[in-house]
Amino acid sequence: MTESEQTQDTNTGGSVLGGASATESAARRAVIAGLDQAIDELKALVRIPSVSWDAFDPQHVAASAEAVAELVRGLDVFDTVQIKQARIGEADVLGQPAVLATRAARNGRPTVMLYAHHDVQPPGKDEDWDSAPFDPVTRSGRLYGRGAADDKAGVMAHVASIRALVAAAGADFDLGLALFIEGEEEFGSRSFANFLADNRDELAADVIVVADSDNWDTETPALTVALRGNVTFKLSVRTLKHASHSGMFGGAVPDGMLAMIRLLATLHDEQGSVAVAGLNRYEMETPDYDEAQLRLEAGLADGVSPIGDGTILSRLWAQPAITVTGIDAPTVANASNTLSPEIAARVSVRVAPGQDSADAYRAVEEHVKANAPFGAQVVISEVDQGQPFLVDTSGWAVAEAKRAMKDAWGAEPVEAGIGGSIPFISDLVRVFPEAEILVTGVEDPDSRAHSPNESLHLGVFERAILTEALLLVRLNERA
Ligand SMILES: [Zn+2]
């Protein structure tokens, strides 16, 4: 808004928000004033062990959904607040409960959908934690507990930023809101696609904020603009109709293992770069990240060199990767002098942002069939695909998100990629192709989501809330 750029408010107190409007300054004050409450409410959510996996008591996820709905009702800004479930695929089984709240836009203002999830990963062994996973405690400016970061902090960032919007703009604001707090993100978002289909009108938005990602570090915000997709499949290679003694026929006929090894070896070149024609790379600017950091974080063994080419982060974010994640073959302990007739492998392909996963799969399929050694019979089965994600960074909402990050953090945001995928994002893109999707986050590199001693940096939490509060205030004033 030009108004916000021109109005100089004397109450901002900080240099970061120089030129901020009175509304933005009020939002900033509300975020600071409301931080302790947000942390207390976050702790209460963390105390509910809402693990969404099948082997865990679904009552906890139900209790967590109810606790989130109660917080959302307490905001007193939504037309509807519901706890809803959707079917899993075609089955007559319902997924875990999500919270869905809506408020219609007025006076031509945009609608923003705020996504986070209230379920968590299993805690693992208690003895691996320095404090009990579901008993949140603060140590050295970090809040420890399962879900303290991933993603109950995302839930609370939405709640607290809406509160700041109300404090700054009044409860009668014009911005449309759809709040979607999923209950089974950590268990594969099994009913997500059906949930979108069932609630398409309620969820439709101009801008979608997915608060479930990372920041560059505790002082530098990141907008996640690229995610790799993935393709996995089972690869079976057969060379013999039955097993034979390796002394009788070895040397004259190929065994399945020889064919499989030679076939898998064609997937990479000498440098370890993927060598499959038709698997694309995406060109993106990447922040500095050196080999020493890679060695440390990936646990590269002494003397082993990294693989691939290009900047290290482009290898992780923007280039394809292929990993053999399992092989069915005789074990070493049971190895006999036998020619194996058939070997199976599980192959995992990371797809560069910008390429369709189906195209990537076809490229790999063609490569595998064209490179089968000795005419070996190759069968591919159990194919699973997830689309990559690539943000058009020229969009107005991306610009607004980056401006809010810069103002809230006092640092330029990094456009980041993620080597792994967030599978449900492709569903959002498919169902809401017109919406701009902003993947933001409350995590930092030390958050250890999914691991023991998961934690939230409380400074990052405050800045994430402020970022979202500024974004909401500005969208509320956007024509
Ligand atoms: Zn998450």
Residue 49 has pLDDT above 90, yes or no: yes
Residue 97 has pLDDT above 80, yes or no: yes
Distance from the alpha carbon of residue 120 to the mean position of ligand 1, in angstroms? 8
Residue ranges of the chain assigned to CATH 3.30.70.360: 229-282+319-386
Burial of residue 431 (CB within 10 Å: 0-12, 13-18, 19+) is middle
Distance from the alpha carbon of residue 479 to the mean position of ligand 1, in angstroms? 33
Distance from the alpha carbon of residue 36 to the mean position of ligand 1, in angstroms? 23
Q: Torsion angle, CA of 282/284/286/292, rounded to 10 degrees? A: 30
pLDDT of residue 185: 95
Residue 254 has pLDDT above 50, yes or no: yes
Residue 1 has pLDDT above 80, yes or no: no
Using one digit for the tens of pLDDT, what is the confidence trace for 385-405?
999 999 999 999 999 999 999
Residue 91 has pLDDT above 90, yes or no: no
Question: What is the mean pLDDT of the segment spanning 82-103?
Answer: 96
Distance from the alpha carbon of residue 405 to the mean position of ligand 1, in angstroms? 20
Distance from the alpha carbon of residue 212 to the mean position of ligand 1, in angstroms? 5
Distance from the alpha carbon of residue 209 to the mean position of ligand 1, in angstroms? 13
Distance from the alpha carbon of residue 442 to the mean position of ligand 1, in angstroms? 10
Distance from the alpha carbon of residue 151 to the mean position of ligand 1, in angstroms? 5
Question: What's the CA gap between 357 and 250, in Å, rounded?
Answer: 40
Residue 136 has pLDDT above 70, yes or no: yes
pLDDT of residue 14: 41
Distance from the alpha carbon of residue 61 to the mean position of ligand 1, in angstroms? 15
Distance from the alpha carbon of residue 210 to the mean position of ligand 1, in angstroms? 10
pLDDT of residue 19: 63
Distance from the alpha carbon of residue 464 to the mean position of ligand 1, in angstroms? 15
What are the residues whose beta carbon lies below 5 Å from ligand 1 (ion)? Answer: 150-151, 212
Distance from the alpha carbon of residue 106 to the mean position of ligand 1, in angstroms? 32
pLDDT of residue 20: 77
Q: What angle do CA 269, 272, 273 make, to 5 degrees?
A: 75
Question: Per-residue confidence at 479, pLDDT binned at 50, 70, 90?
Answer: confident
- What is the fold of 3-227+388-476? Aminopeptidase (3.40.630)
- Using CA of residue 407, residue 416, residue 457, residue 179, what is the dihedral sign? positive
Distance from the alpha carbon of residue 45 to the mean position of ligand 1, in angstroms? 15
CB 465 within 8 A of CB 38: yes
Question: What is the mean pLDDT of the segment spanning 347-354?
Answer: 96
Burial of residue 303 (CB within 10 Å: 0-12, 13-18, 19+) is exposed
Tell me the sheet residues that pair with 9.
none
Burial of residue 140 (CB within 10 Å: 0-12, 13-18, 19+) is exposed
| C-alpha distances out from residue 288 to 240, 314, 379, Å | 50, 10, 42
Distance from the alpha carbon of residue 411 to the mean position of ligand 1, in angstroms? 24
Question: What's the CA gap between 134 and 126, in Å, rounded?
Answer: 10
Find out if CATH 3.60.20.10 is the number for domain 229-282+319-386. no
Distance from the alpha carbon of residue 23 to the mean position of ligand 1, in angstroms? 31
Question: What's the CA gap between 246 and 452, in Å, rounded?
Answer: 48
Using one digit for the tens of pLDDT, what is the confidence trace for 202-240?
999 999 999 999 999 999 999 999 999 999 999 999 999
Residue 9 has pLDDT above 50, yes or no: no
Question: What's the CA gap between 60 and 205, in Å, rounded?
Answer: 30
Single out the residue of 318, 343, 320, 317 nearest to residue 330, CA to CA.
343
Using one digit for the tens of pLDDT, what is the confidence trace for 261-296?
999 999 999 999 999 999 999 999 999 999 999 999
CB 310 within 8 A of CB 417: no
Distance from the alpha carbon of residue 328 to the mean position of ligand 1, in angstroms? 32
Distance from the alpha carbon of residue 213 to the mean position of ligand 1, in angstroms? 7
Residue 320 has pLDDT above 60, yes or no: yes
Question: Per-residue confidence at 190, pLDDT binned at 50, 70, 90?
Answer: very high
β-strand pairing of 207-214 with 111-117: parallel
Residues of the chain with pLDDT > 90, as a percent, come to 93
- DSSP assignment of 178-236: EEEEES-GGGT-TTHHHHHHHTHHHH--SEEEEEEEE-SBTTB-EEEEEE-EEEEEEEE
Report the mean per-residue pLDDT for the chain.
94
CB 177 within 8 A of CB 78: yes
Distance from the alpha carbon of residue 421 to the mean position of ligand 1, in angstroms? 11
Distance from the alpha carbon of residue 157 to the mean position of ligand 1, in angstroms? 13
Token couple for 19? 């030129």
Token couple for 474? 């500005």
Whole-structure pTM value: 0.88
Higher per-residue confidence, 50 vs 423: 50
Distance from the alpha carbon of residue 393 to the mean position of ligand 1, in angstroms? 23
Distance from the alpha carbon of residue 450 to the mean position of ligand 1, in angstroms? 9
Residue 120 has pLDDT above 60, yes or no: yes
Distance from the alpha carbon of residue 255 to the mean position of ligand 1, in angstroms? 44
Distance from the alpha carbon of residue 239 to the mean position of ligand 1, in angstroms? 44
Residue ranges of the chain assigned to CATH 3.40.630.10: 3-227+388-476
Distance from the alpha carbon of residue 443 to the mean position of ligand 1, in angstroms? 10
Distance from the alpha carbon of residue 316 to the mean position of ligand 1, in angstroms? 20
Residues of the chain with pLDDT > 70, as a percent, come to 96
Residue 18 has pLDDT above 80, yes or no: no
Distance from the alpha carbon of residue 420 to the mean position of ligand 1, in angstroms? 12
Question: Per-residue confidence at 71, pLDDT binned at 50, 70, 90?
Answer: very high
Residue 15 has pLDDT above 70, yes or no: no
Question: Per-residue confidence at 60, pLDDT binned at 50, 70, 90?
Answer: very high
